[in-house]
Structure 1
């Protein structure tokens, strides 16, 4: 098999359970992913979201590294707009020093929550002095490489510890502009196809990244539901919904329910808004059908690595889906 599989886990909290159970399942899934042969295991960042138990990927990454031995572990991703690039560099240098050669730093541009959680996270930031995302990314890169310019007011500050093997860097996004930024900064790019699977956008993103970068293809994040029958996979996928909210401030966000969309509008204080339901981009079916679709995307776009998100809240169903895909993929790879 000429492409790699990795996993993204959001630590969903199923009905009738709490965060402890959800996080224990994330740990168990990471250990199984390592056993099955997945290349990376990433955890996400979501704020003020009772149904997702991971607002702090750095903390969870450290725990996962301690409970695995080989698989790469990382963030998918840290929501950089909320944080000091220096602190992010320190966190991931420390993780990389704890587990050399196993740490990934993925960063994203999204807020990872609704407007009030963003306001709480950024309460100490002066809006007039807030750098752009591109400036934050460049500064993070400089701290990770210890290349802060002599003329910079922060020259001489080092993000310690200095690990023997640095964290591998990824920018997560779903736009041509994000792909171009990643390529210009020398970061690997992960296209969020699980959030926007538009085929024409995928073509433009891959072309833009290759044109500016070194010719490598981006990684592709995809939502996948595998089941023992097509009918069962269809039932699991049928309950998924996605809504894009556009408000008069120019903000837009994608959420999973009308209630979340309306709460975003309320917290944003928008007078005018538009909520549109989008068709979730989910590859679903038997494991062989899913594998064939991944193979098609690999051949069409030159994808060398897929990051799999399984959008099922029920823990047993999600684990079964990942295991079916693992058996189909790694059996074919061995053959």
Structure 2
């Protein structure tokens, strides 16, 4: 299988740099991945986060696209419940006009933040907590592709004077909840195994394809499997560097919130955990792809085969920005 490598970047606030530099470091990594031949570079959306520094994916996508040459750039994703589908369509169609055949519009159902931020984003209205997501996704597709039926009240709206340039439409999911909707509406599907590997199974892609064909869409859609991955020169080094991301996820499950820890701080914390907490940490780590370039390539090939998916996107979170750059450089050397 000829595997395409892509990136999902959460714009982590690296402990190795001042917090204000996080967005710039995302651009720097995107430029590196462009030079290394990665296929796509997607940025995530988070609000009121001490760990992730991008609440505005449309701004980051536009910036990265203007500072790279070949790589596709997109959102992974826009949290659609907060926004007007028309405005999202206008932003991304504008970017597709300025950067033809390079812009992806990925959307998600999750809030990307707390209940308080959802309330503030919806003000002066009330948040609908994703209850209207299916309707919004259908409307967004109609605006992007000019496919609203003639009797729709918005059918005469022109998103841009020339409706031809369009972003590639993607829907994000982690455990199958969005697969049927994506297939029905004709979105490509990105499956976020890095969020919930225990409930992310190949059957989700099968259900998606069944719905795609049942809806009568032509051709075959694109699929991406997104995984957590940390690559280093040795397995021991990779597992040590992965500790920053693993402990953050464990801490979130325990209701704790603090800046990213260094790998050595994580080891100290791990030693002080209870046996059950250590088991939970180990379980999270086992859901990541961690190791040498050869080990990571082997596991990526196994996942690509199991999920019948020829594009793998990696999410890499480390305390040090240099460690993240090195991870993507080492991984690219294997493909």
TM-score by length of 2: 0.84
Task: Please say if 1:154 is aligned against 2:154.
Answer: yes
Cα shift readout 1:145-179 (whole Å, capped 9, x = no counterpart): 22233333333222125454310011001132311
In structure 1, the residue matched to 2:317 is: 311
Q: Distance in 2 between matches of 1:161 and 1:323?
A: 41
In structure 1, the residue matched to 2:332 is: 326
Q: Distance in 2 between matches of 1:256 and 1:162?
A: 48
Going from structure 1 to structure 2, the CA distance change for 1:40 and 1:256 (only over 3 Å counts) comes to farther
The alignment's C-alpha RMSD in Å is: 2.5
Q: Distance in 2 between matches of 1:193 and 1:129?
A: 23
Whether the 8 Å CA contact 1:93–1:161 is kept in 2: the answer is no
Cα shift readout 1:129-159 (whole Å, capped 9, x = no counterpart): 9862111100000111222333333332221
Q: How far has the Cα of 1:187 moved from its partner?
A: 0.6
Whether the 8 Å CA contact 1:184–1:212 is kept in 2: the answer is yes
Q: How does 1:133-212 map to 2 (within 5 A)?
A: 133-162=133-162, 164-198=164-198, 201-212=200-211
Residue 321 of structure 1 aligns to a residue whose secondary structure is helix
In structure 1, the residue matched to 2:267 is: none
Whether the 8 Å CA contact 2:202–2:306 is kept in 1: the answer is no
Cα shift readout 1:211-264 (whole Å, capped 9, x = no counterpart): 2224657310000010100111111223413659xxxxxxxxx94662249xxx
Match of 1:258 among 247, 255, 259: 255
Task: Please say if 1:228 is aligned against 2:233.
Answer: yes
Q: Distance in 2 between matches of 1:138 and 1:163?
A: 17
Task: Please say if 1:85 is aligned against 2:85.
Answer: yes
In structure 2, the residue matched to 1:36 is: 36
Residue 97 of structure 1 aligns to a residue whose secondary structure is helix
In structure 1, the residue matched to 2:290 is: 284
In structure 1, the residue matched to 2:212 is: 213
Q: How far has the Cα of 1:203 moved from its partner?
A: 2.5
Gaps of 5+ in 1: 245-253, 262-275, 330-335
More strand by share: 1
RCO higher in structure (CA 8 A, sep ≥6): 2
Going from structure 1 to structure 2, the CA distance change for 1:217 and 1:127 (only over 3 Å counts) comes to closer
Whether the 8 Å CA contact 1:242–1:277 is kept in 2: the answer is no
Whether the 8 Å CA contact 1:94–1:163 is kept in 2: the answer is no
In structure 2, the residue matched to 1:75 is: 75
Gaps of 5+ in 2: 214-219, 259-278
Whether the 8 Å CA contact 2:118–2:127 is kept in 1: the answer is no
Residue 11 of structure 2 aligns to a residue whose secondary structure is coil
Whether the 8 Å CA contact 1:79–1:112 is kept in 2: the answer is yes
Q: How far has the Cα of 1:300 moved from its partner?
A: 2.0
Q: How far has the Cα of 1:191 moved from its partner?
A: 0.6
